[in-house]
Every structure is written in structure tokens, then in C-alpha cells.
Amino acid sequence: MHFQKTLQYAQHLDQQDPLKDYRNKFHFPKINSKEVIYFTGNSLGLQPKNAKKYVDEIMTDWAELAVEGHFQAEKPWWDYHERFSQKLAPIVGAKPTEVGVMNTLTVNLHLLMVSFYRPTKQRYRIIMEEKAFPSDQYMIASQVRFHGLDPEEVIVEVKKREGEHHFRTEDILSKINEVGEECALVLMGGVNYYSGQVLDMETITKAGKGVGAFVGWDLAHAAGNVELKLHEWEVDFASWCSYKYMNSGPGNVSGFFVHDQYHGQKDIPRFEGWWGHNKERRFLMEPDFQPEPDSNAWQISNAPVIAQAPHLASLEYFEEVGMPALINKRDKIVAYLEFILQEVAKEVGGDFEIITPKERGTQLSVFLHGQGKELFHYLMKNGVITDWREPNVIRLAPAPFYCSFEDMWRFGMVLKEYFIEN
């Protein structure tokens, strides 16, 4: 597409944007009395304006009904978590029975590994990517030690090639085939947090299952951002946070997926609790666990409804818009951001290296050769909320729900001004 670097053109793109009205459904911070240019939806999404209403509903029910809110509230608390399934399923490409909401991301990955990491003497290795998000590294290593094994011997990291910034699918497949029958689990980030690369999850899942391993995905940077088909790809399990592209509040609850081939199995290894017990018999207080017939069997505790309320509010917007429309705008606005970066680089003689490959979502990671944190601080001071990663990468993530094409143009002007002043 032929773009133009003018305010009028950016505003023209905004007028044509079918999602333009959703910008007004989010709260924007302000710097110097102006709404910020917000590039950190990949870290914490903006607050939906309807979130307060959902939280206030529960606070009012708590005040007026107390314990009876579990059953008498307009949205009863005892089955509050079940309201997420229909809304989440199309976002991650799953059946409603395969998804749910509970806990937080790393907690869920730990719990899911109870079911899907079952090392034996012959099959015990775990394949992951090098320099995965630290929480995944800590989580996987601690799971290995929990089983009495040595992470140095068990964990196999797929590495990037020398001088390259992204993973090659053929290298991941080669490593899976190399480990072969010793591979118990493939567990990787579907979208790399540092580079923004979207991995070929379908092909990698097929390869992992081809050698007899379980395959799981950390979808922290994927859910609400890229197309997912977890059921169709026959992914065994996955989990994701809700506070990035899904705009549900800081540190908020996590979504999870368990393929329906594992439903209804009473003897599957699993940490169990009251809320995973057959809901029709839950209040009979029976000693023997009878799992729910779907992914809710992995639920443990009753739902933290005050925390879940903002997530339900955000999913209202996702249900209205749908992932295809979000992805369509995402591709266009990221392409325009890339164009703006290239144009500014030409005008100021800057060296901006975009290390995100074409297999991407809404994030561009940019190496700022010759620049340090001074540029990052300048951007922040001038109303561009972005993210710095060592050694000198700025991550830019224009979330399609609330970022505008004019934002991309304004960012280009701030960036250009920095080079003029320095």
C-alpha cells in the first residue's frame, strides 16, 4: 500500500477505520494535558471505560446481598467464571468447553504442567526457546527440579542463528526431531516478547506431537493479538494473561486451554480443588473428586469475581468487534508505523533496524543503533509511552482497539524532533 507521511493522510485513514469509535471507549493517560501516544498495550492494555461498571456491580451486590451474592446476584458469583467460555473461544480458536479463566499465567502453566509434563527414564526432555521470558525459564526449571531432575540435562533450548534476531522454523523442527523420543514436552512462547516474532505454532505443534511429545504454548503476547486455532492445531494446552492486549487490568486473571481429548479423564494427573468438582454435586461435600466434564475440571478455587469483572467487561468489546476486524486494522496500522519509521530515518539519517520479522502481530521491536536511553526518556517526556529493553531496543505496540493512525504520525514528529534537537 502506498502511504503518505502527512497529518491529513493519517486523519483520512482514521476516518476510514471501522474501529475508530472504540478509541473513545478507553481511558487515556495524559502528559502535558494531552492524551499520550500509547505503545505498551503489549505490557498493559488501557482501561476500558465499561470496566468500572462491571466492578461496581459486584461491589453493590456484595454490599446489598453479602453471601447471597453467590446465587442471588444478577451475575451469580458461583458460576461467574463460566461466562468467559463463549467469549474467549473465538479469540483463541477453541471450543467453549476447552477454555476458562483462573489464577494468573505462570500459576496456570505450573498447574498445566502437572498434567502435561510426565517425565520417564526414556522421555523426559523439554524443548523451549533460548532467552524465553524469565518467568517461563524459572517455571520450567523449577518443574524439572521438582521431578528430581537436572535442568541442565533436561531443558533443550532452540537458539537463533549467529547474527540473527528471530527463530527459524526449520531450526525448531530440526531440534524436535533431534531430541525425538526423549522429548516429553515442547513449551514455547507463541509470540516472542522481545522481538515480536510470531512462531509457526501449527507446524511446531504438529512436529512435537509427531515425536510423541505434549505441546503447550505460552500465549501471553498472542491472545487478542494474532490468529489462533488451538483446537484445530491439536495443541494440548495453553495459557495467557489477560492484561496485555485483552485490557483487563494489572496482573489480572489468566485464560487457559485444555484440548477436549483430555476432558472427562478422572485419572489424569492434576492438582484438584472444589471448583473443579462436578458442579451439580459440589455442595454435597463428597470426599471423592468427580471432575467437571470439560476444562473446568482444572479449576481449583472459587472465582475471584472482583478481579474477573474487568476482564468480562473487556471481552464485551472483543465480542462486538471480533478478531478478524482487529487483525485487519492491526496489519494496516503496524505497516503505517513501519513506514513512518523508515521515512523519519531517511529524513534525519537515523539508523533504525526493525528486528521484528514479517511474521508479526502488533509489535515492532526497533534497534536504535547509536542511541541510548536518552531517546527513550525523551519520548516518554513528550507523551510517547513506550518500552525499553536492553541493550537498546524500543518495543512499539499500537493496539488496534485504541491506537489511531494519527498517533503513528504524531510519534514520527516527536521522533524527528529528537534528532533535530540532538
Q: Which range is least confidently modeled, 31-35, 131-135, 347-351?
A: 347-351
Could you report the per-residue pLDDT of 171-218, keeping only the tens digit for each?
999 999 999 999 999 999 999 999 999 999 999 999 999 999 999 999
116 and 214 Cβ atoms separated by less than 8 Å:
yes
Residue whose C-alpha is closest to residue 99's, from 85, 82, 112: 85
Which pLDDT score, from 0 to 100, does residue 350 have?
A: 80
Cα–Cα distance for residue pair 12/61, rounded to 1 Å: 45
| Interhelix angle 405-421/7-16, nearest 10 degrees | 160
What integer best gives the mean pLDDT of the chain? 96
- Domains in the chain (CATH in brackets) are 7-42+322-421 (3.90.1150.10), 52-321 (3.40.640.10)
Which pLDDT score, from 0 to 100, does residue 370 have?
A: 67
Tell me the average pLDDT across 94-110. Answer: 98
Q: What Rg, from alpha-carbon coordinates, does the chain have?
A: 23
Tell me the average pLDDT across 237-257. Answer: 97
Residue whose C-alpha is closest to residue 219's, from 258, 193, 256, 190: 190
Q: Residue 371 pLDDT > 90, yes or no?
A: no
Take residue 99 and report the three cell numbers written for it. Answer: 477454555
Could you report the per-residue pLDDT of 288-307, keeping only the tens digit for each?
999 999 999 999 999 999 99
Residues in the chain: 422
Tell me the average pLDDT across 357-378. Answer: 89
Residue whose C-alpha is closest to residue 218's, from 201, 195, 194, 206: 201
Sign of CA dihedral 62, 65, 68, 71: negative
Helices (H), 268-366: 305-321, 323-348
Tell me the average pLDDT across 342-348. Answer: 94
Listed ranges 116-130, 338-352, 373-387; the one with the highest mean pLDDT? 116-130
Could you report the per-residue pLDDT of 258-283, keeping only the tens digit for each?
999 999 998 999 999 999 999 999 88
Q: Residue 314 pLDDT > 90, yes or no?
A: yes
